[in-house]
Amino acid sequence: MILEDVRYYQPETIREAVDAYREAAAEGLSVHYMGGGTEITTHARDGKLAPGALIDIKRIPEANGISRGSGVIRFGAAVTLTRIADSGDVPLLSATARRIADRTTRNSITLGGNIAGMLPYREAVLAFLIYGGTFEVTGPEGTRTAAARELFDRRVRLEDGEFIVALSIPESASTAPWYYTRRERDGRVDYPLVTFAAGLVRDAVAFAVAGAFLAPIAFSVPAAGVTRDVVVNELKALGLKYRTDMRGSAEYRRALTERACRDALDALGKGAQ
């Protein structure tokens, strides 16, 4: 048993989930919503997490499925990364999901769990940051929609008792030009040194980076006249510190990231300017 005395809820509606939260929180339990549970179980085993109650959101219909409508593609937060990788609805999102962990683990990891997780990578958020995606969150105060770049500021900024129900991306993202690269130290199945994504979004080039810093970040520059120096200067202006860990130094991560800035512009047809 890796979790002591944890209370486990399996709500079938959003309402039941929020009621479960209210009930458990009122008893003073430390409450966590749960997607695939892969991080919750590993962190509990390591002693990094000791939840008093888990609210599994996988049976909630609104948190499941991939659908199109009103000009957006909507991904339920409980959809697994394998399903997203195989779906191809948004090529950049599928390419990113396909390189997170390994296929068997992706059969369990959920989109919402990846983005709300505690590890610094959270790679699945990159496409939502690039394409101006939105989060649908719900909680005791009701449901709200927020722009990905506002709600995800280094981490998902949720109010007490809120969870992510779904994320959406404008349908135009399914055909928009994109660039993606991921560099690891020890071959494919490993956390990234740097995951770098870029896309042309209207009159701007949008960039998003994971692995290089303590959290995923995003920024955009006007497409007209963009050069590698413009992009690198914009990145420097964010004042972020590159990470050093056993996989690579800050200097190596910086070199990989700046190299990717140039490769992204080349791939998006902006390199010659």
Partner 1 sequence: MTRLHVNGEEREVVVRTGDTLARTLRDTLGLIGTKIGCENGDCGACTVLVEGIPIKSCIVLTLDIADRLITTIEGLTDTPLQRAFVEEYGFQCGFCTAGQILNATELLGRSPKPTDDEIREQMESNLCRCTGYEGIERAVKRAAGIELPLQKGSHT
- State the residues that interact with ligand FAD by CB under 6 A: 32-40, 42, 57, 77, 100-101, 105, 108-110, 112-114, 116-117, 119, 121-123, 163-164, 191
Find which of ligand FAD, partner 1, none residue 107 binds, CB within 5 to 8 Å per kind. partner 1
In the region spanning residues 53 to 82, those forming contacts with partner 1, defined by CB under 8 A, are: 54, 56, 58
- Smaller CB distance to ligand FAD: residue 128 or 221? 128
d(CA 60, CA 75): 13
Distances from the Cα of 190 to the Cα of 23, 84, 130, 184, 196, angstroms: 39, 19, 24, 6, 15
Instruction: Candidates 19-27, 104-112, 174-182, 236-244: pick the segment binding partner 1 (CB under 8 A).
Output: 104-112
Rounding to the nearest 10 degrees, give the CA dihedral for residues 2, 32, 9, 48: 0
From 11, 37, 91, 120, residue interacting with partner 1 (rule: CB under 8 A): 37
Q: How far is the CB of 5 from partner 1 (least distance, A)?
A: 7
- Smaller CB distance to partner 1: residue 2 or 214? 2
Q: At 59, which amino acid appears?
A: R
How far apart, in Å, do the first and last CA atoms of the chain sit? 59
- Look up residue 186 and give its two tokens: 């020890």
Instruction: Candidates 3-11, 114-122, 139-147, 241-249: pick the segment binding partner 1 (CB under 8 A).
Output: 3-11
Q: Closest Cα to residue 243, out of 197, 195, 206?
A: 195
From 30, 42, 145, 249, residue interacting with partner 1 (rule: CB under 8 A): 42
- Smaller CB distance to ligand FAD: residue 218 or 226? 218
Q: How far is the CB of 88 from ligand FAD (least distance, A)?
A: 20
DSSP structural state of residue 57:
-
Q: Which residues pair with 80 in a beta bridge?
A: 110
- Look up residue 172 and give its two tokens: 């135009």
By CB under 8 A, is residue 48 in contact with partner 1?
no
By CB under 8 A, is residue 13 in contact with partner 1?
no
Q: How far is the CB of 203 from ligand FAD (least distance, A)?
A: 30
Q: How far is the CB of 112 from ligand FAD (least distance, A)?
A: 3
d(CA 30, CA 12): 21
Find which of partner 1, ligand FAD, none residue 133 binds, CB within 5 to 8 Å per kind. none
From 23, 41, 171, 230, residue interacting with partner 1 (rule: CB under 8 A): 41
- Smaller CB distance to partner 1: residue 85 or 167? 85
- Smaller CB distance to ligand FAD: residue 32 or 270? 32
Helix axes 228-237, 250-267, angle to 10 degrees: 140
- Look up residue 228 and give its two tokens: 């590698």
Beta strand extents in the chain (DSSP E only): 7-9, 31-34, 53-56, 66-69, 72-76, 134-139, 142-147, 152-153, 155-156, 163-170, 178-183, 194-201, 204-210, 217-222
In the region spanning residues 129 to 188, those forming contacts with partner 1, defined by CB under 8 A, are: 188
